[in-house]
Amino acid sequence: MRILLKIILLVVTGIIFFTGLAFAEEHFFEIKAKKFSYTPNIIRVKIGDKVKIRLVSEDVTHGIFVDGYGVETRAYPGQDGSFSFVANQPGRFTFRCSVTCGEFHPYMVGYLVVLPNARFYLYALVVLFIGGANLFFISKKKA
């Protein structure tokens, strides 16, 4: 039974990963940075996609650093910055300004969502499982 479960898990993971890679696309995003937000503020890609980003500053110097991927660029007024990377980790990652641009700078962030957001679904399943298990054990309790 355990071996069967492992095989199923392996196959499902493999399908998700390889179909993701097989249908990998290239995405280009032009992200405009202005105190203290990005436009677009959320970008969604699929796992395996190649992501190219151009950062355009609309006021002062801004930067962009993507958590988990460690890639960074800066944009000065009139001088864009760019970088590219392969979105090989699923989940939601914050991208944040890497150049002090004003008082709210530490909170100038956006989200990169690499689908499928397995991390969120896994945690949500764990919560639901714990809740269900709690209900099960409590229903069995005797005075």
Partner 1 sequence: MEKEKLFGLIDLNWRFELTKFKLVRWIFKSRWFPLLALIFNLSVFIIILLAGFIGGYSAGNYNFGVMIVWILWWVLLMLILVPFFSRMWCMVCPFPLFSDWFQRGKLFEINTGKHRGLNLKWPKHLKNMWVMNIGFLVTTFFSGFFTVRPYATFVLLGSIILLAFIIGLIFEKRTFCLYVCQVSGFQGLYSQFAASEIRHKDEEICKKHALKTCFLGNEKGYGCPWLLTPFNFKKNTYCGMCLECFKTCPHDNMGFFLRVPGKDLLIDEKRGMDEAWKAFIMLGIAMVFFLSMQGPWGILKDMVRATTLKGYLTFIAIHSAFSLLVMPGIFFVFSYLSKLASANKEVPLKKVFINFAYTLIPIGLGVWIAFSLGIILPNGSYILHIISDPFAWGWNLFGTANFPWTPVFTGLLGYLQGATLIIFYLFSIAYGFRLSKQTYPDLNQAKRGWIPMLCFLTLITLTFLWLYLG
Closer CB to partner 1, 79 or 89, in the complex: 89
Binding mask 28-67 for partner 1 (x = CB under 8 A): ------x-xxxx-xx----------------------x-x
* CA distances, 91 to each of 46, 63, 67 (Å): 10, 22, 11
User: C-beta of 14: minimal distance to partner 1 in Å?
Assistant: 22
User: C-beta of 108: minimal distance to partner 1 in Å?
Assistant: 8
User: C-beta of 37: minimal distance to partner 1 in Å?
Assistant: 3
Residues that bind partner 1 (CB under 8 A): 34, 36-39, 41-42, 65, 67-70, 89, 91-94, 96, 98, 100-111, 117, 119-120, 123-124, 126-128, 130-131, 134-135, 138-139, 141-143
